[in-house]
């Protein structure tokens, strides 16, 4: 159930941003009621009817709004919810042992969700109540043939129209508009770079912001920042690093002394950001560099994957200290970030080997250590990182090579995730069809609109803790399982 709980948390968090808050609270109340085991059969019926009504009402509303993008996104959410409810009900009924037929029906409908092509069962007692949400979501799935079933909930509409709409808005500061485009076009890549860019944009916002006469600066700032970040979220979901940095800033914002003048507040807020960049990010890098350097010895062969700013820094630092080692850069399509890493390392006169991930097993035998960057470290010790990292860690484990994940503590997340599908990001699927290295166009390009073909370009994966030897943080070299302890300490410090 932990996965569905995560989904619930996620959707709840999104709901907070939703304008229709009243209804959401109603919904969550009914949600809470369904969670309790005490409800009788009759209650269930009424609840279901209620939910169905609500759901239809929402759907109608969204349709009238005509905003196709929004409908798409919310539908997938509600569909998730429906799925969750079905599961909960199935469990509850299995527990009470009542109404066995409906249990079977539930199971069948669930099975259908997974494979919608199978014919629908006829012996359903409450066809309307049971099926309505499922049926509709199936319709939607059919409407979007290019989508991969398993990760339906992750798809986002291309935001180009939305971007052009917001450019003219007075609410969003131009710096954020620019940043949003850079995020969605992947000009700024990597969770560190993205976080730094966000912080510098906030700094510009602080300087430029003039609060209206009657409004307190910080409150106004909060409101403006909210619209800005909402816009950014639409361009590309936040990285964990960004969420953590933003949370830190917001806490400082709300605790600001109200008696200061606007300029003093500005100076203080800028200080807050600069301190964060210095202490939590840059000093962390230095500390991690030192710790990893202590582990690198002469004649080491270090295997790295993709391009990580931190790993780059570490290797340069180790090279500077006069250690003799070589690097194997493993790269993967479609982003081929490893090339940039190769360019930089060769520029620093480090001996490099460059292979694609297909050759991983072959080169792993020669490696002595594996260094990996991370997008986030989750509470159960799993490492979330660019797609392919789990594979590298798995092969390293199979060859008994120590795997070191380098991760600053500001990337630690309270989330728990056991697989890569609950929360992830989907990239441009066209990237998989074209091959930029060959002179002739890829034969796959013509298949782009083929309805039988669905392409999945997923951006992150989750590496289970038992594949990782140690996590190097600025505090210490730790086993993955110590993440909750560090989170607890950090939480205590911030209080």
Q: Which stretch binds other proteins (CB under 8 A): 166-174, 199-207, 281-289, 484-492?
A: 484-492
Q: Considering the rule CB under 8 A, would residue 486 count as an interface residue with other proteins?
A: yes
Which phi-psi region, left, alpha or beta, contains residue 92 (left: φ > 0; alpha: ψ -120 to 50)? Answer: alpha
With CA atoms as reference, report the closest residue to 466 among 476, 484, 479, 483.
479
Point out which residues pair with 426 in neighbouring strands: 458
8-state DSSP, 466? G
Residue 142 contacts by C-beta under 8 Å, 6 or more apart in sequence?
Answer: 116
Q: Rounded to whole angstroms, how far apart are CA atoms 195 and 199?
A: 6
Give the residue with the Cβ less far from other proteins, 210 or 299.
299
Size, binding site for other proteins by CB under 8 A: 18
Q: Where are the alpha helices (DSSP H) in 255-381?
A: 262-276, 283-295, 309-320, 338-347, 360-364
14-21, long-range: CB within 8 Å, 24+ apart, which pairs?
14/77, 17/230, 17/233, 20/58
Instruction: State the nearest-atom distance from the C-beta of 386 to other proteins, in Å.
Output: 23
Dihedral of alpha carbons 344, 347, 348, 349, sign: positive
Which string of x and - marks every residue 451-480 that binds other proteins (by CB under 8 A)?
---------------x--xx----xxxxx-
What's 41-88 look like in SS3? HHHHHHHHHHHHHHHHHHHHHHHHHCCHHHHHHHHHHHHHHHHHHHHH
Q: Which two tokens stand for residue 99?
A: 């109404």
> Which of 116, 146, 334, 402 is the binder for other proteins (CB under 8 A)?
402
**Is residue 485 within the footprint of other proteins (CB under 8 A)?**
yes
Q: In the complex with other proteins, which residue's Cβ is closer, 13 or 398?
A: 398
Q: Which of 23, 295, 323, 333 binds other proteins (CB under 8 A)?
A: 295
Closest distance of CB 481 from other proteins, Å: 4
Q: Does 272 bind other proteins (CB under 8 A)?
A: no
Residue 362, Cβ density class (10 Å: 0-12 exposed, 13-18 middle, ≥19 buried): exposed
**Residue 489 engages other proteins in binding (rule: CB under 8 A):** yes
d(CA 384, CA 420): 8
Q: Is 319 in the site for other proteins (CB under 8 A)?
A: no
> Looking at beta carbons only, is 352 or 470 nearer to other proteins?
470
Tell me, residue by residue from 222 to 261, as one string, x for binding to other proteins by CB under 8 A and - for no binding.
----------------------------------------
Residue with smaller CB distance to other proteins, 254 or 481: 481
Using CB under 8 A as the binding rule, whether residue 167 contacts other proteins is answered as no
Which of 153, 369, 411, 415 binds other proteins (CB under 8 A)? It is: 369
Selected from 82, 376, 404, 433, the binder of other proteins by CB under 8 A is 404
Contact region for other proteins (CB under 8 A) — 36-44, 212-220, 261-269, 485-493? 485-493
Residues in the site for other proteins, rule: CB under 8 A?
295, 297, 369, 402, 404, 466, 469-470, 475-479, 481-482, 485-486, 489
């Amino acid at each position: 159930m932990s996965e569905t709980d995560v989904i619930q948390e996620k959707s709840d968090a999104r709901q907070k941003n939703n304008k229709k808050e009243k209804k959401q609270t109603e919904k969550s109340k009914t949600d809470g009621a369904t969670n309790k085991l005490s409800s009788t059969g009759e209650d269930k019926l009424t609840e279901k009817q209620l939910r169905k009504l609500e759901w239809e009402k929402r759907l109608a509303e969204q349709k009238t709004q005509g905003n196709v993008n929004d409908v798409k996104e919310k539908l997938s959410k509600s569909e998730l919810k429906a799925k969750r409810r079905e599961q909960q009900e199935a469990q509850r009924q299995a527990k009470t042992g009542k109404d066995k037929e409906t249990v079977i029906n539930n199971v069948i409908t669930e099975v259908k969700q997974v494979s919608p092509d199978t014919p629908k069962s006829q012996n359903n007692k409450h066809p309307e109540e049971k099926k309505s949400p499922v049926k509709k979501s199936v319709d939607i799935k059919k409407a979007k043939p290019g989508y991969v079933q398993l990760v339906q909930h992750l798809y986002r509409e291309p935001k180009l129209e939305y971007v052009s709409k917001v450019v003219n808005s007075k609410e969003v500061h131009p710096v954020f508009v620019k940043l949003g485009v850079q995020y969605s076009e992947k000009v700024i890549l990597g969770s560190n770079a993205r976080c730094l860019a966000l912080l510098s944009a906030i700094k510009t916002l602080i300087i430029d912001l003039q609060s209206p006469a009657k409004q307190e600066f910080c409150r106004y700032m909060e409101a403006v920042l909210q619209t800005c970040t909402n816009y950014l979220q639409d361009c590309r979901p936040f990285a964990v690093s960004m969420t953590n940095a933003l949370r830190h800033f917001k806490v400082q914002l709300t605790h600001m002394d109200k008696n200061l003048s606007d300029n003093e507040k500005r100076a203080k807020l800028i200080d807050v950001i600069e301190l964060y960049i210095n202490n939590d990010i840059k000093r962390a890098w230095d500390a991690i560099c030192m710790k990893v350097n202590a582990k690198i010895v002469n004649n080491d062969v270090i295997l790295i994957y993709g391009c990580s700013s931190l790993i780059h820094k570490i290797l340069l630092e180790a090279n500077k200290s006069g250690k003799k080692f070589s690097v194997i850069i493993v790269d993967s399509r479609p982003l081929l970030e490893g090339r940039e890493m190769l360019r930089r390392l060769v520029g620093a006169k480090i001996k490099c080997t460059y292979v694609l991930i297909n050759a991983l097993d072959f080169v792993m035998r020669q490696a002595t250590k594996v260094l990996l960057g991370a997008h986030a470290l989750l509470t159960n010790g799993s490492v979330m990182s660019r797609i392919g990292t789990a594979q590298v860690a798995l092969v390293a484990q199979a060859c008994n090579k120590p795997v070191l994940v380098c991760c600053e503590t500001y990337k630690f997340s309270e989330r728990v995730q056991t697989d890569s599908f609950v929360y992830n990001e989907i990239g441009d699927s066209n990237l998989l069809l074209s091959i930029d290295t060959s002179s002739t166009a890829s034969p796959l390009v013509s298949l782009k609109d083929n309805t039988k073909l669905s392409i999945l370009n997923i951006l992150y994966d989750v590496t289970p803790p038992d594949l990782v030897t140690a996590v190097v943080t600025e505090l210490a070299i730790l086993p993955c399982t110590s993440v909750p302890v560090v989170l607890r300490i950090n939480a205590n410090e911030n209080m």
